[in-house]
Amino acid sequence: MFIENYEKIRENLYDLESERRVLSAMIHAEEACIEAHSSLQASDFYSPKHATIFELACNLYERDIKPTYVEILKEGHSLGIFTNPKDIEELKYIAEHYIDDENIKYWIKKVKDKSKLRRFETFLRRSYFMLAENPESDAEEILLSAEEELTNLTAFDIDEKIDTPADLAKLGYEEVEKRFIRFKEIKELHKGVLPLEGLPTGFSYLDHITLGYKPGDLVILGAQTGHGKTAFALHTAKAIAVDFGKKVLYLNTEMSRTQIALRWGSILSGIEHERIRSGDINETELSIIFNAYSKLRDSGFYSYPCPNLTPEKTVSIARKFKAQKNIDMMIIDYVGRMEKQDPKLSEWQILEQIVKTQKMLAQNLQIVVMCLVQLNPDGTLQGAKRMKNECDLMLKLTPISKEELAENEELKKYLNPNYYIYIEKNRDGRSGVSLPIQFDLKRQIMKDAERIQL
Amino acid sequence: MFNDKEKIKKIYDETATVIADLAFRREITDEEMYFLLNMLEAIIDNRNLSALTEVLLEWIKKEDKNELNEEIKKELFKINFKDEDSVNEVTHNIKKLLE
């Protein structure tokens, strides 16, 4: 009776059809690759052949190669995995028989569920044999250990981790030790200047206050129309991807590839944007611009113009670029232009949904996500309170009025400031601070406003 | 009945399997297999290979081609199907060899 039931149970512990559908979808569609790569592991597959095909497809995908039937054949052959016709029978079957790439999440869930059930069955079997072999074991001990294992089975997903008291104590001490050494370094080597903890912001005053954009941070930058949102985004990208050699993914909902490329010409060469756009430059300037673009060529800047961007799309694009290019930051320029998934939602609900998604994304992928938002003409922000709750750093870029320039004594200590970066929220440090900067609109260049030496 | 897309997919799958099988049975070398698989992928990607196909057909039709075979193969193994210049250069070189 037990054996009969056990056979029945075993049959329910795997679902080869779902495994084939996941793999087939990966072979046929990039979206499926993104989902499966981030949700599954080879060990989730029951069939060893399926696990191998999954690993081959993931290896290719991580190298930015579409895992087609041909590419998987080549990869398997070059690694010595496929050496005779029998080795590719299953792959051939999958490639030929399943072309369904819709409902990929459904099939992934089925594969994952079966994988969890198998782990549960292993747990039951192990417990059963333990009881059979050690009938005199301590009941308390057995139950406690079983409870812990069972909790792990139900609570853990691929990237979830529960800290034990020992884990947390270790982490705490390591962090304090790190800071202790850094503090000593600051005093001795850096003469009191705090080194960055994250990516440079492109402004030394802002670096000083924030210690840089840190992995997992959601940064929101607000500015009115025509007041430097894109210039700020590209200034940030320059500081991180060109000057600092890290990788940035830039999603733009408004501008074309050509427009973005031309902006870089101006930012990197220091020649007026309008003149570059119209071609009104001399040969020396053309040569300067050519050299300027070589900096972009060697940088870590990836651009993805995407007029129909949705919050869901940002998730899959970010996952793809994290897996394939190991990006450190994603900039979304700008969230107000994102497509509405549900037309019944009001503006603030959409913004809330967007920022929540982006915060989760930043934490899960351990990247910085910067969202650019549009300020109202009076300098306020739609749904500001909810955005402020979610983000780690909220900045506003606002012009300094002529009156303020004339009256504010503090501003007179700086050389030609014309914009403020106002720190509205800073989870890790000071907020409510206005930093004067110089924004050269003609060249689309931003920099710290220099203090006048007295 | 198959529609055009399904037909192309079926041809692609079958051809890839045949190429891999030939390599497993040692009837073609690994290099030959990689070349054929890459060419198949390029055709499916709708890359324009008409000039190359033409010279390859010319090669097949040619009598007394044995002495040329190895040289032409060497040329073909150099090809990068993702680079149009590479395809044109190899096509041009094979054309010259066949003259």
- Residue B54 is encoded by which pair of tokens? 């033409």
Can you read off the two tokens belonging to residue A180? 């202790």
pLDDT of residue A97: 75
Torsion A245-A251-A257-A258 (CA) sign: negative
**Which residue do the tokens 């150099």 mark?**
B78
* Residues of chain B that touch chain A, judged by Cβ-Cβ distance less than 8 Å: 9-10, 12-13, 16-17, 20-21, 23-25, 30, 33-34, 37-38, 40-41
pLDDT surpassing 80 at residue B60: yes
DSSP SS3 for B25: coil
Q: How far is CA A30 from the centre of its chain?
A: 18
Mean residue pLDDT of chain A comes to: 86
Q: Mean pLDDT, to the nearest integer, of A9-20?
A: 89
Q: What is the rounded CA–CA span in Å between residue A84 and residue A106?
A: 33
Q: Which residues of A touch B34 (CB under 8 A)?
A: 74
pLDDT above 50: residue A236: yes
CATH class for domain A2-153? Answer: mainly alpha
Domain limits of chain B? 4-98
Cα(A344)–Cα(A355) distance, rounded to whole angstroms? 18
Smallest Cβ–Cβ distance between B16 and the set A70, A83, A84 belongs to A70
Q: pLDDT band for A158, please (50, 70, 90 cuts).
A: very low
CA distance A72 to chain B (A): 11
Give residue A132's pLDDT: 86
Give this complex's ipTM: 0.85
The predicted model scores a pTM of: 0.71
CB contacts, 8 Å: A69 with chain B:
12-13, 16
Residue B25 to chain A, least CA–CA distance (Å):
8
The torsion angles phi and psi of A23, rounded to 5 degrees, stand at -65, -40
For the cut 70, the answer to whether the pLDDT of residue B18 exceeds it is yes
Query: Least CA distance to A80: which residue of chain B?
Result: B24
C-alpha closest to that of A352 among A385, A377, A392? A385
A366/A217 Cα distance (integer angstroms): 8
Q: Please tell me the distance from the alpha carbon of residue B33 to that of residue B16, in angstroms, as a whole number.
A: 9
- The A218-223 sheet, strands edge to edge: A301-305, A248-252, A329-333, A368-374, A218-223, A393-399, A419-426, A433-440, A445-448
| pLDDT band, very low/low/confident/very high, at A192 (cuts 50, 70, 90) | low
Q: Among residues of chain B, what percentage have pLDDT more than 90?
A: 53
Tell me how far apart the alpha carbons of residues A43 and B43 are, in angstroms, rounded to a whole number: 35
Q: Which CATH number fits domain A204-451: 3.40.50.150, 3.40.50.300, 3.40.50.720, 3.40.640.10?
A: 3.40.50.300
Record: contact A77-B13, CB cut-off 8 A: no
Q: Tell me which chain A residue has its CA closest to the CA of residue B37.
A: A70
Residue A37's nearest CA partner among A132, A91, A104 is A104
Which residues of chain A does B12 touch, with a Cβ-Cβ cutoff of 8 Å? Answer: 69-70
C-alpha A53/C-alpha A81 separation (Å) is: 10
Whether B12 and A69 lie within 8 Å, measured CB to CB: yes
Residues of chain A contacting residue B16, judged by C-beta atoms under 8 Å apart:
69-70, 73, 95
Distance between CA atoms of A185 and A423, rounded to whole angstroms? 28
- Which of B21, B23, B37 minimises the CB distance to A70? B37
Q: What is the mean pLDDT of residues B49-60?
A: 90
Tens digit of each residue's pLDDT (9 = 90 or more) over A205-228: 999 899 899 999 999 999 988 889
